[in-house]
Chain A
Amino acid sequence: MTFNQQQVQFNGETLAIEPSQTVSAFLESQSVAGRFIVVINDEVVPKANWDQHAIQAGDQIEIMSPISGG
């Protein structure tokens, strides 16, 4: 981690990212693609807000994907 990076939890693992990164920029940096939603600190971040929502230090970011179900 460089001096100005911040730590977040991403899918259960600790990650250092650039400060004030938007959700869109973060997803691009992690090559997240396909059908998914973003949940930060247990709250869904709607896709319409991805370009504005800035990730904060300590955030828990989760990517939720479709799976089979009964």
Chain B
Amino acid sequence: MKASNWTVYGQELGSRLFIGTALYPSPKVMVDAIRASRAEVITVSLRRQSANQANSGEQFWQMIEDLNCHLLPNTAGCYSVKEAVKTAHMARELFDTDWVKLEVMGDSYNLQPDPFALVEATKVLIEDGFKVFPYTTDDLVLCQKLAELGCEVLMPWGAPIGTGQGLLNPYALKTLRERLPELTLLVDAGIGKPSDAVQAMELGFDGILLNTAIAEALEPETMAYAFADAINAGRLAYEAGIMPKRDNAKPSTPTLDQPIWQQHG
């Protein structure tokens, strides 16, 4: 059984997994893993050609074109509003999309987003007609500000990029879900294993964006299948309605009309 479809900035999607295109051991492994993941959105980036690497992006472009996925360009490596806005404009021209995964880093050690620059860059890009997918921390007030600016989608981290630590602060993520019920929320970064993704989906997140956990698995294609199933399972569980936790045991087998010697208390 498949979980319900969803909509991202007006685009209906079946898969709730956004997958990155970096770090795979080979282009073929990347293509096989992305196909196995059943993802419909892939993240991409752009760079300046060096003088001795003319046309180096063409092979990659042919591969991602063949995948026939929606493209979500990022602004990776940007540490200022100016850099991020400039990169977003270049990405829009290069990839012919107004979607942008907005990354404005504030710390090079843990790649934590700069909340102040992120808000400023979001404001500029929305005014410029972009559909912004901000990569953000799980801070409620920051996320509220981004929503007020017009973001329909927010992508809080589970843990720093590439760490595979899972959801370091489930309370904060749960709070975001409860306080921003109208927004589309994806956990972006920090997911290490399928059970991390299930946890996020069971909290009511709409989707997961990940890269390293699949790309650096011993068998990326197999791991992609695992994540696709896990994300679907987590969403189905959320839609089905998860039972509340109780402090006391409650028998699941009916106790009425039990023989007298099995009646206790």
Q: How far is the CA of A68 from the CA of B30 in the complex (A)?
A: 10
Q: How far is the CA of A36 from the CA of B24 in the complex (A)?
A: 23
* The one of B51, B57, B61 that contacts A13, using a Cβ cutoff of 8 Å: B51
Q: How far is the CA of A57 from the CA of B44 in the complex (A)?
A: 33
Q: Is the CB of A68 within 8 A of B58?
A: no
Q: Is the CB of A66 within 8 A of B60?
A: yes
Chain A, residue nearest B210 (CB):
A70
| Nearest CB in chain B: distance from A66 CB, A | 5
| Nearest CB in chain B: distance from A49 CB, A | 11
Q: Mark B48-62, 1 if CB is under 8 A from A, else 0.
A: 111100111110110
Chain A, residue nearest B57 (CB):
A65
The 6 closest A-B pairs by CB, nearest first: A65-B57, A69-B45, A70-B20, A34-B58, A70-B211, A68-B21
Q: How far is the CA of A64 from the CA of B48 in the complex (A)?
A: 4
Q: Is the CB of B57 within 8 A of A32?
A: no
Q: B74 in the interface, Cβ–Cβ < 8 Å?
A: yes
Q: Is the CB of A64 within 8 A of B43?
A: no
Q: Is the CB of A34 within 8 A of B94?
A: no
Q: How far is the CA of A34 from the CA of B49 in the complex (A)?
A: 12
What residues of B have a CB within 8 angstroms of the CB of A66 in the complex? Answer: 44-46, 57, 60-61, 64, 94-95
What residues of B have a CB within 8 angstroms of the CB of A10 in the complex? Answer: 51
What residues of A have a CB within 8 angstroms of the CB of B55 in the complex? Answer: 32-34, 36, 65
Q: Is the CB of A67 within 8 A of B94?
A: no
B positions within 8 Å CB-CB of A: 20-24, 30, 43-51, 54-58, 60-61, 64, 73-74, 76, 86, 89-90, 93-95, 161, 211-212
Interface centre among A10, A34, A42, A62 (most CB of B within 10 A): A34
CB interface residues, A 27-70, toward B, < 8 Å: 30-37, 39, 42, 44, 46, 62-70
Q: A20 in the interface, Cβ–Cβ < 8 Å?
A: no
What residues of B have a CB within 8 angstroms of the CB of A37 in the complex? Answer: 90, 93-94
Q: Is the CB of A70 within 8 A of B76?
A: yes
Q: A11 in the interface, Cβ–Cβ < 8 Å?
A: yes
| Nearest CB in chain B: distance from A11 CB, A | 5
| Given A67-B46, A70-B76: A32 touches B95 (CB 8 Å cut-off) | no
> Would you list 8 pairs from A and B whose C-beta atoms are within 8 A, ordered by A residue?
A10-B51, A34-B57, A35-B58, A66-B46, A66-B57, A66-B94, A67-B45, A70-B161
Chain A, residue nearest B73 (CB):
A69
